Amino acid sequence: MKVFIVGASGLVGSNCMQHFAAQGWEVKGSYFSYATEGTVFYNTLEPNHADNFDIIGWKPDVLVHCGALTHVDYCEANVEESYQKTVQSTINIIALAQQCKARLVYISTDYVFDGKDGPYSEDAPLNPLSVYARHKLEAEQLALAQVANTLVLRVTNIYGNEDRGKNFVSRIVQQCKEEQKLTLKLPYDQFASPTNAMDIARAMFALLRDGKSGIYHIGGTDYMNRVALALRVLQYFPNAVYDLIPLSTAELNQPAARPLLGGFVTAKFSKEYPDFLFSNIDDFLKQ
């Protein structure tokens, strides 16, 4: 299997690249603004950019699209940029998949739901609340409609090993290791299923290997709010100095609306892969 990962310098993409290669697949991945070891340049918004890697010439069997503008509050104030980096980039990747006659994997989110009745199964009613969420849903639906056998993985609250350590869990770990004092103002009313990026890679590998398509919800075994998640990390650093201030989402006054009861029911995936064990935040921190 030849797999090209768009956005391989990020958290999900880098874990997919690592896992697929370890399983013996031929894999390449791209970066746009931040190069990592083994990645090649590709600008999804300029398919004819002179420096782009020749994906068509490489002839992948699968294109995995991990790229998007994920700063939810920024998207709220920068609607056109959000559209370009999430929807238009996906439109361009769809065209690329069609040219390559490749399958497409699209990474989506629990933000396609309104958070009133989570955790969610795949067939739950959709109701995105923010610019980011609406654009992710639009891109997801375009991928499903225009590329046969598209695989959509909805994921949430992703953490794990990555080059830049940008994710929430890794930032807390790094600050604790550096003995910095942490000030954490976190919502106690936003719940989700924190998920290790390597679990996403492992699940995606199984689904691609077996020719699966459609929508799958992928989530870790934890279901918690951000306060509990931070405390779970901090218990591994007994000498950490921190101020933890629980706030309601209303008190945080974030520009973009959040789904409060988010996260996933993973029954569909678990029924098809009963031997697959998702990890949790403790498994990751014990490493």
Whole-number pLDDT of residue 69: 87
**Rg of the chain's alpha carbons, rounded to an integer?**
19
The predicted pLDDT at position 68 comes to: 81
| Residues, the chain | 287
Q: For residues 65 and 62, what is the distance between their CA atoms, to the nearest angstrom?
A: 10
Residues 6+ apart with CB under 8 A from 93: 6, 44, 63, 65, 104
Share of the chain above pLDDT 70, in %: 100
Alpha-carbon gap, residue 167 to 191, rounded angstroms: 17
How many CA atoms, within 13 angstroms, populate the side-chain half-sphere of residue 24?
1
Task: Provide the CATH number for the domain around residue 62.
Answer: 3.40.50.720
Q: Decide if 231 is inside a domain.
A: no
Q: What is the pLDDT of residue 249?
A: 95
Q: What is the pLDDT of residues 25-35, one digit of tens each?
A: 999 999 998 88
Beta bridge partners of 40: 30
Q: Which of 67, 71, 54 has the alpha carbon at shortest distance from 93?
A: 67
User: What is the model's pLDDT at position 101?
Assistant: 96
> Is there a domain that residue 255 lies in?
no
Range of the domain at 42: 2-160+195-222+263-280
Helices then strands, counting H and E runs in the chain, come out as 12, 13
Residue 52 falls within a domain, yes or no?
Answer: yes
65-90 pLDDT tens trace: 998 888 999 999 999 999 999 999 99
pLDDT band at 163 (very low <50, low <70, confident <90, very high): confident
Is 86 a domain residue? Answer: yes
List the Cα angle 131/108/194 in 5-degree steps: 105
Residue 57 placed within a domain = yes
Spatial CB neighbours of 210, under 8 Å, sequence gap ≥ 6: none
pLDDT at 67 (0 to 100): 84
Collapsing DSSP states into helix, strand and coil, what is residue 185?
A: strand
Task: Provide the mean pLDDT of the chain.
Answer: 95
Q: What is the DSSP string of 215-270?
A: EEE---S--EEHHHHHHHHHTT-TT--EEEEEE-HHHHT-SS---SB--B--HHHH
pLDDT bin (cut points 50, 70, 90) of residue 162 is: confident
66 assigned to some structural domain: yes
| pLDDT over 90, % of the chain | 93
pLDDT of residue 172 exceeding 80, the answer is yes
**C-alpha distances in angstroms, 225 versus 42, 231, 259?**
36, 10, 12
- What pLDDT sits at residue 85? 96
Domain count, the chain: 1
Q: Answer yes or no: is pLDDT of 165 > 80.
A: no
Please measure the distance between the N-terminal and C-terminal CA atoms of the chain and give it in whole angstroms: 30
For the segment 38-54, the average pLDDT, to the nearest whole number, is 95
Question: Residue 135: its pLDDT value, please?
Answer: 97
Tell me if 74 is assigned to some domain: yes
Q: What are the tens digits of pLDDT across the range 183-234?
A: 999 999 999 999 999 999 999 999 999 999 999 999 999 999 999 999 999 9
Q: For 74-130, how does the pLDDT look when each residue is reduced to its tens digit (9 = 90+)?
A: 999 999 999 999 999 999 999 999 999 999 999 999 999 999 999 999 999 999 999
With respect to residue 238, please indicate whether it lies within any of the assigned structural domains: no
Return the bridge partners of 42, or none.
none
